[in-house]
Amino acid sequence: MFRPIGRLGDWTARRLSRLGALARFGFGALRAGVTLTAAGRAVALRVALNQIRFTALHAVGLVLLLAGILSFLVISQAVRELGRLGVTELIGTLIVVAIVRELGPLITALAVAGRSGTAIAAELATNRVMGEVRALEAMGIDPRQYLVVPRLAAAVVSVFTLLVVFDLGAIGAGFAAARLAGMSGERYFDVVLQSLAARDVWLTVAKALAFGLIVGLVPSYFGLSVRGSPTEIPVAASRATVSAIVGIFLCAALLTAVN
Amino acid sequence: MSLAAPLVVAGVRLAEGAAAIALEVAAHQTVVLLGDGRSGVGRLGGFALGLERPSSGRVQVLGTVIADLPEDARLAFRRRVGYLPAGDGLMHNLSLRDNIALPLRFGSPASAREIDGRVSVMLAAVRLVGVAALRPAQASEEERRRAALARTLAFDPSLLVLEQPFDGLTPRVAGELLELARGGETAEGARRALLITAPDLTPALHRRVERVYRLTRTGALAVEPT
């Protein structure tokens, strides 16, 4: 009778233990970032810029495609249905609340987690398996400063930048959809701007920062957690991506709930 | 046992059930510790650098047990020792040149220009000028070993700990890298002290080092003729 309860307790304890380890890892990385020397900062900046090139610049096309399709589908349907009810000004609310504030950060973060989170976890796991992490420590280089901090910073910058790209793309595609459905451009931008409040902007920025931290931290943690067998690399990459996605959804729900 | 020796191993058990060993690497000397995988010789480098703690005894490096230092001091102290791990440990996403420059860029106050100059000198010393832009996966095993040794010498340390540094190399190249690692000769002997751990050593290299020990699986340390 008590066995299922016991199993549930074990499962919960394991999850909490992993969450604690992740939190320790995160604080350790932040501390390592603060204590970087000037020379270390220059090296870390170089690594971060390289990561931003892969994570943000190479993903612009993907993010624009996702933003365009999502916005075009939602707005073209909404203009038709809301026009029938005579409340086309609600399109602005739809764009701002549904796409810019909620779906934009979520889809951008999921795209980055799927694309770069997997790559970060696999790369750091390879670093560990090939003995490169041990070699860094032996050279007097803190692996968190060289491997984790630049990727963490790059993930935050990339998610934020791609979110801006996503929102611009979504608003642009929404404009095209509205025009095709017979709405004037002037009216479209009027209703969008009227619906946009400072709170929406801050909430979007907060989500970009939180999701960026998750996308940078969770894959780094799983990547560096491998013990030394090459078979652990795909497992680490898969766990990192799934955990980052779950983390992003939980964080999105939490931020929406507290607002 | 002299405390002035750059590296002192006292009462360290390298493998489960094996006897504890004691040895020292005196200044200007090259000491080789031979043993197969099960003997645990491959763990000694990690103990010396404070990357792992031995279950018994201690390894003192330049008068300090590195594992006992606080984290930041431990990292800084390791720059005084050159360590070449088994399998080279080069960063796979950096060129050979950037691999050699990495410890200097991260841990040295020198300007970028000074570091570039020093790296160019080291590349010439290990004969890698023509392939410096290659990544480790594009380079041959010999080139990777040369790059890894150059990186180990980045801070010109007085003590080197090398794990299986000559695996897969011809005796000629192994001899050349050994001389580079020793850093030239002084009146007292080699400029640097070296501890080399490996499964075996060619007869030609036997003659070029001061002391060779062989570790059996029971932990017994036998001196081999040099």
Q: Which of A4-8, A42-46, B49-53, B191-195 has the lowest mean pLDDT?
A: A4-8
d(CA B78, CA B150) in angstroms, rounded, equals: 16
Choose the closest CB to B105 out of A43, A134, A138.
A43
Nearest to B171 by CA among B199, B208, B144, B197: B208
- Is residue B212 predicted with pLDDT exceeding 70? yes
Q: Are B80 and B62 in contact (CB under 8 A)?
A: yes
pLDDT digits (tens, 9 = 90+) for B100-149: 999 999 988 889 899 999 999 999 999 999 999 999 999 999 999 999 99
Contact B107 A35 (CB under 8 A): no
Contact between B72 and A141 using a beta-carbon 8 Å cutoff? no
Strands (DSSP E) along chain B, which ranges? 7-12, 21-25, 30-34, 58-61, 81-84, 159-163, 193-198, 211-215, 221-224
- Whether residue B1 is predicted with pLDDT greater than 60 in this model: the reply is no
A89: pLDDT strictly greater than 80: no
Q: Tell me the nearest-neighbour CA distance from A44 into chain B, angstroms.
A: 9
**pLDDT given at position A134:** 94
Is B92 close to A130, i.e. CB distance below 8 A? yes
CB contact under 8 A, B89 and A39: no
> A42 touching B, CB under 8 A?
yes
CA–CA separation, B109 vs A39, rounded Å? Answer: 7
A40 contacts chain B (CB < 8 A): yes
Which pTM value belongs to this model? Answer: 0.87
Residue A34 at interface with chain B, using a CB cutoff of 8 Å = no
Query: Which pLDDT score, from 0 to 100, does residue B131 have?
Result: 96
pLDDT over threshold 70, residue B2: no
User: Is the confidence at residue A259, as pLDDT, over 80?
Assistant: no
Q: What's the one-letter identity of residue B52? A: E
**Which is higher by pLDDT, A86 or B159?**
B159
Q: How far apart are CA A195 and CA A100, in angstroms?
A: 11
**Rounded distance between C-alpha atoms, residue B101 and residue B106, angstroms:** 9
CB contact under 8 A, A139 and B83: yes
Given this model, what pLDDT does residue A140 score?
92
User: How far does the CA of residue A142 sit from the closest CA of chain B (Å)?
Assistant: 7
Burial of residue B54 (CB within 10 Å: 0-12, 13-18, 19+) is: buried
Closest CA–CA distance from residue B106 to any residue of chain A (Å):
5
Return all residues near B86 (Cβ < 8 A) that are at least 6 apart.
A131, B42, B163, B164, B167
Q: A109 CA to chain B: closest CA distance, Å?
A: 25
* Burial class (CB within 10 angstroms; exposed 0-12, middle 13-18, buried 19+) of A15: exposed
Helix (H) or strand (E) holding A252: helix A232-258
Least confident of A139-143, B62-66, B156-160, B189-193: B189-193
* The pair of three-digit structure tokens given for residue B198, joined into one six-digit string: 């490996």
Q: For residue A136, what pLDDT is reported?
A: 95
Mean pLDDT calculated for residue range B57-83: 93
Residue A120, amino acid: I
pLDDT of residue A144: 95
Q: Check residue A74 and give its pLDDT.
A: 87
pLDDT 10s digits, B33-57: 999 888 889 999 999 999 999 999 9
Q: Which of residues 185-244 of A touch B (CB under 8 A)?
A: none
> What burial letters (b/e) apply to A136-167, b meaning 16+ CB within 10 Å?
bbbbbbbbbbbbbbbbbbbbbbbbbbbbebbb
What CA–CA distances, in Å, run from B60 to A216, B3, B74, B159, B210?
38, 9, 13, 12, 20
Q: pLDDT by residue (tens digit) across A153-191? A: 999 999 999 999 999 999 998 888 888 878 888 888 888
What residue spans of A35-180 are helical by DSSP H?
38-55, 60-85, 90-93, 104-112, 118-129, 132-138, 143, 149-180
Contact B209, B32 (CB under 8 A): yes
Cα–Cα distance, A163 to A56 (Å, whole number) = 10
State the DSSP string of B188-223. SSBSSEEEEEES---HHHHTTSSEEEEE-TT--EEE
pLDDT value at B185 more than 90? no
Work out the mean pLDDT of chain A and round it to a whole number: 91
**Residue A35 burial (CB < 10 Å; 0-12/13-18/19+)?**
middle
Give the count of alpha carbons within 13 A of A219, CB side only.
32
Distance in angstroms (rounded) separating the CA atoms of residues A211 and B191: 53
Indicate the pLDDT class of residue A1, thresholds 50, 70 and 90. Answer: low
Mind listing the pLDDT tens digit for each residue in B141-174?
A: 999 999 999 999 999 999 999 999 998 899 999 9
Tell me the C-alpha distance between A162 and B162, whole Å: 46
Its ipTM equals 0.90
Q: Which residues of chain A make contact with B93, given a CB cutoff of 8 A?
A: 123
Q: What integer pLDDT is reported at residue B4 of this predicted model?
A: 78
Q: How confident is the model at residue A90 (pLDDT cuts 50, 70, 90)?
A: confident
Q: Which residues of A touch B154 (CB under 8 A)?
A: 139
Angle between helices B96-107 and B112-125 (to 10 degrees): 140
Strand ranges (E), B62-163: 81-84, 159-163
Q: Does residue A130 carry a pLDDT above 80? A: yes
- Residue B35: both structure tokens together: 């043993």
Q: What percent of chain B has pLDDT over 70?
A: 98
pLDDT tens digits, residue range A15-73? 888 889 999 999 999 999 998 888 889 999 999 999 999 999 999 999 999 999 998 88
A:81-140 residues touching chain B, CB 8 A cutoff: 123, 126-127, 130-132, 134-140
B102/A139 Cβ within 8 A: yes
Task: Give me the mean pLDDT over the A232-249 stretch.
Answer: 95
Q: Which residues of B touch A136 (CB under 8 A)?
A: 91
CA distance A129 to chain B (A): 10
Tell me the fold of B1-80+158-226.
Rossmann fold (3.40.50)
Q: What residue ranges of chain B are covered by domains with CATH 3.40.50.300?
A: 1-80+158-226
- A188 and A89 Cβ atoms separated by less than 8 Å: no
